[in-house]
Amino acid sequence: MVIYGVAILAGCFLVGTIVGELIGDLMGVDSNVGGVGIAMLLLIIIVDKLVKSGKISKPSLDGLSFWNQMYIPVVVAMAASQNVLGALTGGPLAIIAGITVVVVSWAFVPILSGKQKEEPAFRNPAIRGEADA
């Protein structure tokens, strides 16, 4: 059933968020530390196990696939609810510092990621739906 896939996703999300809150608490930080990242790793491992042991059906995977493909629309909605006006009226210091930090960080991407030997390796691209989603 589709809901099984969505429920696995929701379970991973909630467990990750709880662990993230705990890490934040332990470090004395008033913020979730890596909850989403932990949830992602959890989902990858669990789905991999379920697929390999054949314990998950196609409709259940569709439940995951749906939210996977809803990602870009959600990001567009996120963009539409940003405080863009606030960013642009924040004064010259905010604008110049904001632009510089991005440009400087861009310059460091090739340095930190090092040389790439081979073609990018992606697994089963078809499962991710539309090629240009």
Partner 1 sequence: MLDMIKGVFTDNGFVTAFLVIGLTMWLAYFISNKLTKGKIHGSAIAIVLGLLLAYIGGVVTEGSKGLADISFLAGIGFLGGSMLRDFAIVATSFGANFDEIKKAGFRGVISLFFGVILSFVVGVIFAYLFGYKDAVSMTTIGAGTVTYIVGPVTGATLGASSEVIAISIAAGLIKSVLVMVGTPFVAKYIGLNNPMSAMVYGGLMGTTSGVAGGLAATDPKLVPYGAVTATFYTGLGCLLAPTVLFLITNAIF
**CA gap 38, 29 in Å, rounded:** 17
Minimal distance in Å, beta carbon 35 to partner 1?
A: 7
**CA gap 92, 108 in Å, rounded:** 24
**Which of 8, 7, 129, 3 lies closest to 71, judged by CA?**
129
Whether residue 79 contacts residue 20, with contact meaning beta carbons closer than 8 Å, is answered with: no
Minimal distance in Å, beta carbon 59 to partner 1?
A: 14
The residue (of 57 and 100) whose beta carbon lies closer to partner 1 is 100
Minimal distance in Å, beta carbon 6 to partner 1?
A: 9
The pair of structure tokens assigned to 67 is 């939210």
The residue (of 54 and 104) whose beta carbon lies closer to partner 1 is 104
**CA gap 67, 47 in Å, rounded:** 15
What's phi and psi for 5, nearest 5 deg? -65, -45
The residue (of 18 and 24) whose beta carbon lies closer to partner 1 is 24
Minimal distance in Å, beta carbon 133 to partner 1?
A: 6
The residue (of 55 and 109) whose beta carbon lies closer to partner 1 is 109
